Structure 1
């Protein structure tokens, strides 16, 4: 990590504070992963209702993502980060007061704003601070905050719920959110060139101009540099959504003596391990080969999970899935950073990660229905098929034609969509 020793103190201190704030944020969010589905069931929810409530997370996440991206470009990355930490602080208090499934769904939707805001603000601010020639390495290291937080959170949440109950669990999650906000308040944000007026969604304008801005914004989704990464993220969102919503229920139904938090913690440790090397390696060998490897890992992990019948197999599937996420997420973020100008980062991140959000939004109700019809094991085998589809699309659609796409996906050609200032 000697890259950090080359940065001026102000930048190095801001990255450290960002990391600590991110650690608190992800610990808060992930502490509810193994416990919230069970809490919903305790309120009387069925499998489909569990899926609907967990999927409601994306109802708040997805629309806010498309507003917060332009806000981060036009106003401030820190403002968007404050929105995220505020939501992650108050949502657990809402769960504490909820007494019905519809109320839980509303609060879960509000909770989704936290992920939308924090991931956009965090990714954009890290990219702003990172040196261009070692961007992948810095982003890779800073992305470690997610698996570290998700290694701490589920184990902590499962322990607190078992020993002290849901009330103390939700209060603890809210406290983590408060600490994240305090950390963000001390972070320095570099000045940036102002985006063109027509791209600034939060400036006074006529209705026609606002409509033109909105059209320009969503038109980016179909642009060659963005559409394939966004599709890949949508596939991964579906897989992740099925794990968040139904893995604790899958383990409970299998009658295995396994705390679901151990699955998430195992995945997080594997994700941490893979992120240590992937950033620097992608600077050297290109982004394409690592996205390909990650999609292969997703395919293998879902096949393992769908056919597992003992604890070691489930934890091995968790390790492979965690490695896939640890390779894919920072590499896609770096790829998107490569492909846009600094004044577009908020919008590019919001649209690309918006694909992930769409996947999560669909995963709850879609896989809730699938689980009711064919069972959890077949549901995860369906995830394997989705990973295969994402792999095929990435290998064939990442460049101007199929031969060039294959070369890029295998690390044999440079990215033709890199933004050149």
Structure 2
């Protein structure tokens, strides 16, 4: 099990590092290219949208061709994207290479969980999955600190060099250490007609779509923060790269801490009621943040405090809303999970694209965009859960 934990841990942390590791370098990147904040944010959008869409591809491919081939394909694409980003000389070129990174990185979110299910069951599977999920949960908080450490030895290009090395290590581990966990007799060809029928059911189900988008706009608030935080914290608040990385990690503690207790809270108050209350709290805390910033009280401590509370609410919302969305679709849970994950990533990318032109390096546009995400999530929750109660 230690061998599996090592390999899957390296694979699982690669994509979160690709998203968050270079956040401290975004202002530097903007200066080097002479670009605006909104233009630099396109390097995040370029990663998020292919990353979300490609998850629909890797799951069926892994069922049809085994686990190692799609993993190696994804890692190879990610490696090429990292090297391309390393040597980019224009911002549009960097966006394109980031998109290629996202296209490859999607495999590293989908397939490791399938590898766990293939090889282990019962308590052993739970233990190994917990290790993988811990890496996925902790690495986004620590990634900016890793990025700051790398920046001490070079500029933003050094971060992509580090990601290329990580991808090469992943290829070596997958090739020489990780065995194929899906026997040929268990593999099944991709059925596009079955996928189309399942997708039609999901896209015409208001409950599934509504709850998925509730989680999606919750995630979108994270993405808005990720895209803008380095400019606000280092530019407007005057933090150093290390201080920004620490502030980023603290803001994420609320989410990951609350998510660990979501199951216990749901058992006490019920899943639907918990989502309703938590989304209401998320909206109120994001609205409070916006009003305080608007009134001129948007210090780094006010920002951090409100975001910790808002993100703690999201820690209860995001995993539970997906469980509720899948509740009536057990026969196509895999497809529903893939579509749900894709929709959430795309919603986040589109939110950055729509709000990016309004960012000016200060806290107000970021706080406003996060509050808009909270408002949309609140309205969707009210509509969806009222309908769910009425039809129950």
- The alignment's TM-score, normalised by the length of structure 2, stands at 0.79
Whether the aligned pair in 1 keeps the contact of 2:233 and 2:300 (CA below 8 Å) is no
Matches of 1:334 and 1:79 in 2, distance apart?
Answer: 30
- 1:270-311 residue CA offsets vs partner (Å, 9 max, x unmatched): 333233333465577654345445534543553455325222
Whether the aligned pair in 2 keeps the contact of 1:235 and 1:387 (CA below 8 Å) is yes
Alignment equivalent of 1:50, drawn from 30, 37, 40: 40
Whether the aligned pair in 2 keeps the contact of 1:23 and 1:146 (CA below 8 Å) is yes
- 1:98-177 equivalence runs, <5 A: 98-125=88-115, 142-177=132-167
1:228 aligns with 2:210: yes
Whether the aligned pair in 1 keeps the contact of 2:67 and 2:180 (CA below 8 Å) is no
- The alignment's TM-score, normalised by the length of structure 1, stands at 0.74
Alignment equivalent of 2:247, drawn from 253, 256, 263: 263
1:91 aligns with 2:81: yes
Match of 1:61 in 2: 51
Matches of 1:152 and 1:24 in 2, distance apart?
Answer: 13
Alignment equivalent of 1:367, drawn from 355, 358, 367: 355
Unaligned stretches of 5+ residues in structure 2: none
Match of 2:196 in 1: 215
- 1:186-335 equivalence runs, <5 A: 186=178, 189=181, 200-201=190-191, 212=193, 215-224=196-205, 226-257=208-239, 259-279=243-263, 282=266, 287-292=271-276, 294-303=278-287, 305-306=289-290, 307=293, 309-332=298-321, 334-335=323-324
Matches of 1:14 and 1:62 in 2, distance apart?
Answer: 25
Match of 1:415 in 2: none
- 1:72-120 residue CA offsets vs partner (Å, 9 max, x unmatched): 4444455444444334434332221001011011112112224432222
Whether the aligned pair in 2 keeps the contact of 1:73 and 1:195 (CA below 8 Å) is yes
More helix by share: 2
CA RMSD after TM alignment? 3.9
How many matched pairs? 382
Matches of 1:279 and 1:194 in 2, distance apart?
Answer: 33
Whether the aligned pair in 1 keeps the contact of 2:74 and 2:104 (CA below 8 Å) is yes
Matches of 1:140 and 1:47 in 2, distance apart?
Answer: 37
The verdict on how the C-alpha distance between 1:16 and 1:165 changes in structure 2, with shifts beyond 3 A counting, is: closer
Shift of 1:318: 4.1
- 1:326-382 residue CA offsets vs partner (Å, 9 max, x unmatched): 44444445556655447x44422221011112212312321112325x964144224
Shift of 1:126: 5.2
Secondary structure of residue in 2 paired with 1:256: coil
Matches of 1:138 and 1:333 in 2, distance apart?
Answer: 22
The verdict on how the C-alpha distance between 1:260 and 1:304 changes in structure 2, with shifts beyond 3 A counting, is: farther
Whether the aligned pair in 2 keeps the contact of 1:134 and 1:280 (CA below 8 Å) is no
Unaligned stretches of 5+ residues in structure 1: 1-9, 202-209, 406-421
The verdict on how the C-alpha distance between 1:271 and 1:21 changes in structure 2, with shifts beyond 3 A counting, is: farther
Alignment equivalent of 2:12, drawn from 13, 22, 30: 22
